[in-house]
Structures are given as C-alpha cells and as structure tokens.
Amino acid sequence: MGVSGSPTRIRRHLDRRWVGAAIGALALAASACGPASGRATPGPLQPIILQLRWTHNAQFAGFYAADQNGYYAEEGLQVSFVEGGAEVDLFKGVLEGTAQFGIHGADALLAARAQGKPVQAVAVIYRRSPTVFIALARSGIERPQDLVGQTIQVGSGSGHIVLHAMLGRLGIDLEQVTEVPLTGDLDPLLSGEVQVISGFLMDQPLRIEAAGEKANLIYPDDYGIHFYGDTLWTTDEFADANPDVVGRFLRASLQGWAWAVENPIEAGRRVGQYRPEAELDQEAAKMTASIPLVNTGEDYIGWMRPELWSGIEAALRQQGVLTSPLDIETVYTLQFLEEIYGK
C-alpha cells in the first residue's frame, strides 16, 4: 500500500461542487459589499497580524494566497504573519492584542476556553484532522487492531488524545500498546525501533516516501474520531468590537483557501516568498496532500458543525483533558460564515 496522502494518490478527491459553490458565494459576497456592509472604503490599509501555528510552510498556503492575490488589500487590510513553533505560546499575542487572529487546534481552543480564556473560533481550515498513525508498508500494520503489541511514538498533545480515543472506541486496552514520546526524527521508525508514529498527513508520509519507503496510514476519522485541525480564532472582545474587520478578514482568507485548493502546486510554491530556503516541490506536495482536509466534500470551505464541536468536547472529557464546566456554544461562532455564505 502506498502513501495514501501523496500528491499522486489523494485519498479523498477534490469535490469541485463545494469549491465552486464556495468561490461563487465568496465572489458574490465580495461584490455585494459596500460601506453599509462593512467593506472597507478606499484609503490606508488597516494592519492585521495573524499568529501562525507553525513556521512558514504550505500549512498556511491559503492565507499566503489571500495576501499575494490581493484579496486582503481588496478588503482594506494589510496582513502580516507571525511564525509559531514548538516553543511559541500561540495564545499570548492574540489574547494580549499584539495580534488579531490566530490558528490553533480545535481541541486546544476548547481547553483554553474551559480555563477562562476568551477564545472564539470563526472558521475551521482543516475540517478533518491531519493527525494520522503511520507504519512502514512492509510492517503489515494497516488498521488500529494491528497496533496491539506495537511500540508507538506519539505526540503529547492531539496525537495522544486521538490515539486513546480511537483505541477506546474500538475496545482496545491501552495497556496492549507501548507509547513512547514523539521525537520528530524518522530514524526510529525506519530502523524498526518503533513500529508506528503519529504524524501529519502532509508531512511525515511524504518524508517517508522521499526516504524510499512506502507507508501505511491509519486515519482516526475512519474509526469515528472526528477532530477539527487548524482553526482560525480571535477573542470575544475583538469580534464584538470589530465585526466588520472579522468579516472582511475571514472572507478574504476563505477566498485564498478556495484558490489554493484549485491551484495547489502554485499555492505550495509560494511558500518560498515567506521562507526562501523552503523546498518548493515539497511544499507543493504538502498543499496537494492537504486538499482532503480543507475541501472535505461536505459544506463550504471553513464551515463548522456544532455536532463535531460537541464530539470533540466529549472526547476531551473522556480523556480527562476537560474537567471544568464549559458552555460549548461560546467556543465558536457561525455568525461570520453565515453572513459570508448567505446561510
């Protein structure tokens, strides 16, 4: 079995119905906007800062497209990007007001809200989680039941939560697998020191393929574990005080993502304008592999479903990540998506 997420073999194909509908709706919303609806009038561009979840790469290709294609400028915005990373507090800048928007996992936003942080999701970019469990094809490991008796490198965040939720749902005792910390280095997997690693669909599988191996991927989504990935968020205060800015920023961002889904190779290569040392073919492959996460064939790009938010919350409570009371409807708002898509 080959790498399911490779650019030559996309597991879930691009559903042009929803991309076309999204592009049409976004174009109609943009053309219909005037001063009365909050669309910026000609004049100086309003500076906006977006806190990225990681360093510059194709994970953010749609935002780059919105910048480079002039969608932000058409909305009266000048958007700058601040890199994230393993050592970066992804909440700090937005909560303190030095950035206006951020990108984080839906599970992290739920946990932050339960801790009293006024975070509010306005759209989901990765509408399916990029988290997968990866084994070498020659291992014969193809499904969760094959994990019994295996050693798994797993991240301490979402990867850990998703693994436990998936195994629990299938009735597999956690004591039947051995977990070790994820290092980010593929050598333990390639050498056989570990049999499985957690990773992102558009990252480790491509690197394994580049190393001359084939990978088998286990998708938690196939086993009833539906987590949202990269989620665009702001604060309650900013959304309440600046609904026009949120609407304009979101509309332009979604236009950028619709364009990136339709033009994945070029979108991936544009990472080079933000990170000159990037391997552009690799970034193009990453963007291509992420298409099924962004354009799921269900609803519009960016759309959020209340039942999925509730499912994520339930999984977090089952794993003991959430213990405090939480009004889940305060964690996200459909207001801006409904206005943009005319729902």
| pLDDT at residue 9 greater than cutoff 90 | no
187 with 331, same domain: the answer is no
Q: What is the pLDDT of residue 37?
A: 40
- The strand ranges marked E within the chain are 46-51, 77-82, 101-105, 119-124, 131-136, 151-154, 178-181, 196-200, 215-218, 230-235
Could you tell me if 119 and 330 are in contact, meaning their C-beta atoms sit under 8 angstroms apart? no
Question: Do residues 35 and 92 share a domain?
Answer: yes
Return the pLDDT at 29: 56
Name which residue leads in pLDDT, 57 or 16: 57
Give a yes or no: residue 141 inside a domain: yes
Q: Is the pLDDT of residue 4 over 80?
A: no
Instruction: Tell me what the mean pLDDT of segment 72-87 comes to.
Output: 96
Q: Please give the tally of structural domains in the chain.
A: 2
Judge contact between 302 and 250, C-beta under 8 A. Answer: yes
Distance CA 184, CA 153 (A): 9
Position 168 in a domain: yes
198 in the same domain as 240: no
Residue 323 pLDDT level (bands cut at 50, 70, 90): very high
Which helix (H) or strand (E) is 164 found in, with range? helix 158-169
Q: Give the list of residues 6+ apart from residue 207 with CB closer than 8 angstroms, or none.
A: 186
Residue with tokens 């977090």: 316
pLDDT at residue 303, rounded to an integer: 98
**Is the per-residue pLDDT at 236 higher than 60?**
yes
pLDDT above 80 for 10: no
Residue 61 lies in a domain: yes
> Are both 118 and 151 inside the same structural domain?
no
Using the structure block, give the residue that is written with the tokens 């039947």. 176
Is 268 a member of any domain? yes
pLDDT for 169-216, tens place per residue? Answer: 999 999 999 999 988 789 999 999 999 999 999 899 999 999 999 999
Order of strands, sheet of 196-200, starting from the edge strand that comes earlier in the sequence: 178-181, 151-154, 196-200, 131-136, 215-218
For residue 112, what are the contacts with CB-CB under 8 A and spacing of at least 6? 91, 104, 119
DSSP state of 322: -
pLDDT at 336 over 70: yes
In a domain, 10, yes or no: no
**Residues 64-82: what's their mean pLDDT?**
98
Residue 167: which domain range? 131-223
Position 2 in a domain: no
Q: Is residue 53 one of the residues assigned to a domain?
A: yes
Give residue 6's pLDDT.
33
- Residue 8: predicted pLDDT: 30
Question: Which of 3-12, 31-40, 223-232 has the highest average model confidence (pLDDT)?
Answer: 223-232
Q: Is the predicted pLDDT of residue 258 greater than 80, yes or no?
A: yes
- How many angstroms separate the CA atoms of 289 and 264, rounded? 9
Q: Write the CATH number for 163.
A: 3.40.190.10
Q: Which of 188, 223, 258 is the last residue of a domain?
A: 223
**Same structural domain, 234 and 139:** no
DSSP lists the bridge partners of residue 200 as 131
What is the reported pLDDT for 13?
A: 38
Q: What is the pLDDT of residue 15?
A: 56
User: Positive or negative CA dihedral for 215, 207, 232, 12?
Assistant: negative
Q: Do 105 and 183 have their domain in common?
A: no
Instruction: Answer yes or no: is pLDDT of 22 > 70.
Output: no
The C-alpha atoms of residue 201 and residue 163 are separated, in whole angstroms, by 15
For 82-113, write each residue's pLDDT tens digit: 999 888 999 999 999 999 999 999 999 999 99
- CA–CA distances in Å: residue 311 to residues 79, 107, 164, 238, 314: 33, 10, 15, 27, 5
Residues 281, 258 share a domain: yes
DSSP 207-232: HHHHTT--EEEE-GGGGT-----EEE
Domain boundary among 195, 223, 251: 223
> What is the overall mean pLDDT for the chain?
89
Q: Is residue 297 part of a domain?
A: yes
Residues in the chain: 343
Please tell me the predicted confidence (pLDDT) of residue 16: 55
235 and 334 together in one domain: yes
Do 268 and 209 sit in the same domain of this protein?
A: no
**How many CB atoms sit inside 10 A of residue 146's CB?**
17
Predicted confidence (pLDDT) per residue in 301-315, tens digit: 999 999 999 999 999
pLDDT at 34: 39
Domain edge (last residue) among 223, 258, 288: 223
145 and 168 inside one domain: yes
Residues 62 and 85 placed together within one structural domain of the fold: yes
